[in-house]
Amino acid sequence: MILAGLTTGRTAAGQEVLSFTPELRAPPNSVAYGGQIFVDDITELRLSTLPPSCVVARREVVFFEEGSRLMLERIAVSFRLKLSELTDPWTLICEPFLDGERGPADAEQTLEQLIEMGFPRKEVDELRQLIAPHMAAYNSVLWEWAELGQSDLLEALAADLSEGLSPERYWWIMKIALRPSLGVTSHGEGSFAGNSGFLS
């Protein structure tokens, strides 16, 4: 799920904002749905992700078109925004669904990265089982071989005709995505992976 039509501007009260085409498949209480982000609410700018992304108010990760990268770089400099090089955990979690073969050594290296990010081996297995039907169907059409990540997972769930991208699913994905940024090291009681109803 990638936001299009990014522009910058200022509200009547003088607040700097990023505006874009509203993503109406997102929950109404999300900034993606609202079509506007206050620059002061951007807690991280991630120019290392494909496509570029930002973290808003430490609760939501949104992705912008690749063509917005230069504009985001200028915004980062102008407003001294925090640049983050953190890897999107969903990129690592979704790796088995790429179109292509991976060796055991590569798979183990990916798992070690996820463990370092606070995702126990058992939870990684649970998460992959939950998203497997959706990602397999999504990439059977896309045939992506290089990288699948959070924006792809959102698209895959939005394409689910039986349930679609419910608010529960959307915010579940966000909580998983932000765990490394927030320093959460394990899912603990009430794990997201245990809530199989979200992705069944």
Helix (H) or strand (E) holding 118: none
Domain map of the chain by residue range?
A: 2-78, 89-198
pLDDT value, residue 198: 54
pLDDT value, residue 130: 92
Q: Three-state DSSP class for 96?
A: helix
pLDDT value, residue 33: 92
Closest by CA to 131, choosing from 179, 87, 173, is: 173
Helix (H) or strand (E) holding 54: strand 53-56
Give dist(CA 14, CA 38) in Å, integer.
Answer: 11
Closest by CA to 92, choosing from 150, 135, 48, 151, is: 150
Q: What is the pLDDT along the chain (200 residues), one digit of tens a residue?
A: 899 999 999 999 999 999 999 998 899 999 999 999 999 999 999 988 888 999 999 999 999 999 999 999 999 999 999 888 888 899 999 999 887 777 788 889 999 999 999 999 999 999 999 999 999 888 877 676 668 889 999 999 998 877 778 999 999 999 999 988 776 655 543 344 455 445 44
